[in-house]
């Protein structure tokens, strides 16, 4: 299907009112949130590090993270293998499944998906595909994976099983696959850093950062900055109250046009989903930063110069305006990137021409698909006696609805939510401590310290 100029014009017409309302919902509360975080960073960096330094960090190889680390535990065999026939595979899975259910029943952590029957079916299909492709698990990678597994068991908080289960749910990443992401991103990382979040979080249980061009300290700093910001959002009474009020006033738009609310509103309601959207926005900032720093950028060799330059050039906002929603997260999940993506010249970062063509192809493919979704929606509405009962497409247009600049009700233009979160992320990243400076506390994720500020409260 070919991209037409009319497709783009149609999407802008259909999506602009929705995007404008979403901008009005999120931009001002995010700016106020950023100001409170900036005060804490400037006045009490030790508190920032107490929160940011809590999550344990493990190194996980991409080559085997699609399969649970306890996959062979029931066999007594330490070296990984793939059963040679379908009958042998089914018997193997019978043994694994009983062992898997016992593990998740006896170990604290996050167990959704990892104990669902669909996980067994998806994992069986993955192993069958690996056998057909002649794929083997690298023994060194497997041993590294086992070290992380054993460390999680010692700490008493297990997330690797859930991670493997999610990686086997192909529909989660179908959005990115349909837009050609996996064809265009030719670079491949070998491993990533994984950090667990605290149990009450509504956003998820872990963050990941692929190995990149600036070393483990830079990457760990990214993880810990994002972890702190997500924890702050979880605990910030004023921000949660602001978002609850906004969600009450804009219930219809949030319930239909934010992916988090449409997926999770049954679990905790649209009102709480509004705060989770911003936590997810910080995860997107983390994923896009990882994508931008997948390789060392020519002309920008010093790690400490990278984040200030990204903020100065508003790079993540520009990237958000190009890529469809969901693409950056998929690159992090699969460890893929665009080689030679950025260049640094004359004091500025810019996209390499070849990479820009690749990104444009992903964007254009997304536009074609999205136009088809919206066209079908409008056709169904026109033919229906109950048009209000027909759910519109969640995604509102070409890119993230809060990307770009924000125009307030008085016509004043200011940076939007993505730019604001980028600046906040950079400032937190500047002060977080990493590596040997982090005490080996084996912090239990659900016991993350509270932020001792009058305007914050731990959610339960």
Nearest-5° Cα angle at 412, 422 to 325: 40
Residue 100: closest CA among 130, 124, 136, 125: 124
446 domain residue, yes or no: no
Residues 181 and 100 in one domain: no
> What count of other Cβ atoms lies within 10 Å of the Cβ of residue 137?
19
Check whether residue 258 and residue 380 sit in a common domain: yes
Same domain? 299 vs 388? yes
403 secondary structure, DSSP code: -
Examine the fold and report which residue of 167, 187, 208 is the final residue of a domain before the chain moves on.
Answer: 167
Domain count of the chain? 2
Residues 182 and 263 in one domain: yes
242 and 261 together in one domain: yes
Q: Residue 41, Cβ neighbours under 10 Å: how many?
A: 19
**Contact between 200 and 208 (Cβ < 8 Å):** no
Decide if 451 is inside a domain: no
What integer pLDDT is reported at residue 459 of this predicted model? 42
Which of 121, 141, 167 represents a domain boundary (last residue)? 167
Q: Has residue 452 been placed in a domain?
A: no
| 3-state class (DSSP) for residue 107 | coil
52 and 150 fall within a common domain: no
Asked if the structure places residue 161 within a domain, the reply is yes
Whether 457 maps to a domain, the answer reads no
Q: Is residue 453 part of a domain?
A: no
What is the block-wise mean pLDDT of the chain (460 residues), using blocks of 10 residues?
75 79 89 94 90 86 95 90 95 95 87 88 94 93 95 87 88 70 84 78 77 93 93 90 91 78 68 84 92 94 94 92 80 92 92 87 80 86 88 62 74 84 96 67 57 51
Helix (H, G, I), strand (E, B) or coil at 282: helix
Of 167, 197, 227, the residue that ends a domain is 167
Residue 288 shares a structural domain with residue 140: no
In this structure, are 191 and 105 located in the same domain? Answer: no
Specify the pLDDT at position 360. Answer: 83
* Domain co-membership, 24 together with 71: no
Shared-domain flag, residues 345 and 270 = yes
pLDDT, position 394: 63
Record the pTM.
0.89
Residue 316 sits in the same domain as residue 437:
yes
Measured distance CA(259)–CA(245) in Å, rounded: 19
* Residues 286 and 416 reside in one and the same domain: yes
Domain hosting residue 155, numbered range: 67-167
Residue 50 is encoded by which pair of tokens? 């107490």
pLDDT of residue 444: 54
Q: Is residue 401 part of a domain?
A: yes
What pLDDT is stored for residue 28 in this prediction?
Answer: 92
Spatial CA neighbour of 354 closest among 366, 365, 339, 368: 339
Let me know if residue 367 belongs to a domain: yes
Tokens of 320: 């958000």
Closest by CA position to 284, among listed 272, 276, 296, 295:
276
């Amino acid at each position: 299907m070919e991209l037409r100029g009319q497709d783009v014009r149609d999407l802008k017409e259909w999506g602009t009112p929705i995007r404008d309302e979403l901008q009005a919902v999120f931009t001002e509360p995010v700016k106020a949130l950023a100001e409170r975080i900036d005060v804490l960073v400037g006045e009490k960096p030790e508190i920032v590090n107490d929160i940011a330094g809590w999550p344990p960090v493990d190194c996980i190889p991409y080559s085997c993270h699609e399969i649970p680390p306890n996959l062979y535990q029931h066999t007594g065999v330490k070296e990984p293998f793939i059963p040679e026939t379908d009958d042998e595979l089914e018997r193997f899975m019978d043994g694994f499944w009983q062992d898997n259910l016992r593990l998740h029943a006896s170990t604290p952590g996050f167990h959704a998906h990892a104990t669902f029957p669909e996980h067994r079916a998806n994992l069986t299909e993955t192993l069958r595909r690996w056998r057909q492709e002649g794929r083997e698990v690298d023994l060194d990678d497997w041993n590294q994976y086992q070290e992380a597994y054993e460390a999680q068991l010692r700490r008493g908080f297990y997330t690797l099983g859930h991670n493997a289960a999610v990686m086997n749910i192909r529909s989660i990443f179908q959005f990115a696959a349909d837009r050609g992401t996996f064809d265009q991103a030719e670079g491949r990382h070998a491993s990533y850093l994984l950090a667990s979040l605290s149990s009450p979080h509504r956003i998820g249980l872990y963050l990941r950062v692929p190995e990149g061009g600036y070393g483990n300290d830079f990457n760990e700093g990214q993880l810990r900055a994002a972890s702190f910001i997500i924890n702050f959002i979880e605990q910030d009474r004023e921000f949660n109250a602001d978002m609850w009020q906004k969600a009450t006033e804009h219930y219809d738009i949030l319930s239909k046009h934010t992916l988090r609310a449409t997926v999770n509103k049954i679990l905790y309601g649209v009102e709480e989903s509004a705060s989770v959207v911003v936590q997810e926005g910080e995860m997107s900032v983390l994923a896009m930063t990882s994508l931008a720093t997948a390789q060392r950028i020519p002309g920008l060799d010093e790690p400490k110069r990278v984040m200030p330059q990204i903020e100065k050039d508003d790079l993540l906002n520009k990237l958000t305006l190009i890529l469809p929603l969901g693409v950056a997260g998929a690159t992090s999940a699969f460890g893929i990137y665009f080689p030679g993506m950025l260049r640094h010249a004359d004091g500025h970062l810019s996209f390499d021409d070849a990479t820009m063509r690749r990104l444009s192809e992903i964007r254009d493919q997304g536009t074609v698909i999205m136009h088809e979704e919206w066209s079908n929606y409008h056709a169904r509405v026109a033919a229906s006696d109950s048009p209000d009962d027909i759910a519109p497409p969640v995604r509102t247009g070409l890119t993230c609805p809060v990307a770009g600049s924000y125009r307030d009700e008085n016509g004043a233009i200011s940076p939007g939510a993505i730019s604001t979160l980028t600046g906040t992320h950079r400032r937190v990243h500047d002060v977080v401590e990493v590596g040997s400076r982090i005490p080996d506390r084996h912090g239990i994720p659900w016991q993350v310290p509270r932020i001792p500020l009058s305007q914050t409260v731990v959610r339960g």
